[in-house]
Structure 1
Amino acid sequence: MPSGLVALLDDVSVIARAASASLDDVGAGVAKAGTKAAGVVIDDAAVTPGYVTGFTPDRELPIIWKITKGSLRNKLLILLPLALLLSALLPEAIIPVLMLGGCYLSFEGAEKVIEKLGGAKHGETLEDPIEDPASFEAARVSGAIRTDLILSAEIMAISLSQVEDTTLLTRAVALALVGILITVGVYGAVALIVKMDDVGLHLARKPGATAQAFGRVLLRAMPVVLKLLGSVGTLAMLWVGGGIILHGLEELGLPQPAHIVHGIEHGLAEATGSLGGVIGWLGYAAASALVGLVLGAAIAVGMHVIGHMRSKSHE
């Protein structure tokens, strides 16, 4: 009996050590994956505020909450199972799927640029009279969740590449934790950004002169910040979309476009001394955005031609 108890305790000890090692693997995987995905996280945070600007203050947080729930569904119910299945059964399909997402982001970004330059607008915008606020809000939330799906796919793919040598369970737990932490971080930051004008208004009504001055600064600054974030969001769609395409072509055996862009990055980095890291990254982002803009504009023109041909055929 004592020997059986000792054996049982020994088995428990082995299981505990295995569980501890597994948790260590998950923690290391989450840290690596989160670091590698940081660039896309910044893009996600820049894109999202554009979907809630212009609404009344009482609708901003509910809209962000709807987008947050959609983002969690994207990551945990769609992308996580898909990533695990593809990594186990068809890993070569991951890059083409991501490239399709890159094409979509490039198209969305190019369409916004075309609209800014005076092209035809697609769908109702905040500059137009909004006849049905509920349906307009639903359309905005739907558009944000679609864009989030592509950005989340990139985050999950980057994260998967950092834990692909681990067990299936470790991969699943690490990807789930990365998805949850990134979603909470991004949309928590977005909520703070869009509500800063309310904070400014609250401070401006406080009795202290310092609080009032700071509040007035926030009130004046936030419209500019939100407008700037809208532009950054459009650029983010283009540089992430273009970057996905460049990386995908490189993985599929066509490395020349990516090499040219990386050459620009390294050349700028070497020529600008202590600011080389920042300037080099900006050069890479600008070149990737240009790729995304050209590709997205070509897709937009192609879709316009197809739409025109269809309308002609129905006449």
Structure 2
Amino acid sequence: MIQVDLITGFLGSGKTTFIKKYVDYLYRQHLHVAVIENDYGAINVDRMLLSEALEGKADVEMVIGGDKDCRIRRFKTKLIAMGMQGYDRVIVEPSGIYDVDEFFDVLHEAPLDQWYEIGNVIAVVNSKLEDLSPQADYVLASEAVYAGKVILSRVDEATEEDIQHTLNHLQMALKAHHSQRDIKKDVMKKRWDAYRDADFEEIMHSGYQLGIFYKQFIDDNYFRSLFFLNIHFSLATLQERIKQIFNDHELGRVMRIKGFVCENQQWYEVNATADDLSVEAIHDGQEVIIVIGEQLDEERIHHYLK
């Protein structure tokens, strides 16, 4: 049976970075690995970045978003197509807003239940967690409640007070949705650059949890991913515009901005949250900027990016 791991995590939590490290470990264990990227839009920045970073270590596939029925059907079709390709493990990275029950439902359906079994559910959580809206708290809790392990990201930037605030917030969010789980005993709080093979071995066998959790409805348009194509700014100008977007609280709550820019025939990956902006030179890209957040005003954001 092919083991399938689900890597969840709220917007900007660091799922893609964690997957790079996890796949590197699995590759060194001589496992044949595939990664499925499942995102809202037809342009998937994370897939482009993973394809470059994981070249020779894992195959990277993509499932384009859509409404719930369409998303489930495409995910199931992708798994069927991959079922006879000899993978030992498949890693699924969904969008930052994801109903984990969809994952369980698909893996338990025929014919997938003959080829695949659920390995682990792993939730990546920013250790410097900000106060969230009730809707965002629900998403955070709905992803963590099933996790065999909760992996804290950005521990190297966080104080012990930050970490305790995050864990208390996560526990509060779970309790608010009627989960009695004590999440703190299943949290890994190490700096990622300090992870050793023994840590990844523990993660690889962490499994998943089931329990009582009250689900709620969230409008599909509440969390949005906005795509802005053909952005021709210089790198310095784009960085400045990104800062302006995060500082404009009239356009909704921006959680993450990611994309590419080309300057002097060199492509750069840009990845930003409210308190961090990183730029990395890469081999190839596409002129697109994606803004992700809650109740976003597309026209107002476009004003900064036109």
Same-fold call, TM cutoff 0.5? no
* Structure with bigger RCO (C-alpha 8 Å, 6+ apart): 1
Pick the structure with more helix per residue.
1
TM-score by length of 1: 0.24
- Structure with greater proportional strand content: 2
Q: TM-score, normalised by structure 2?
A: 0.25
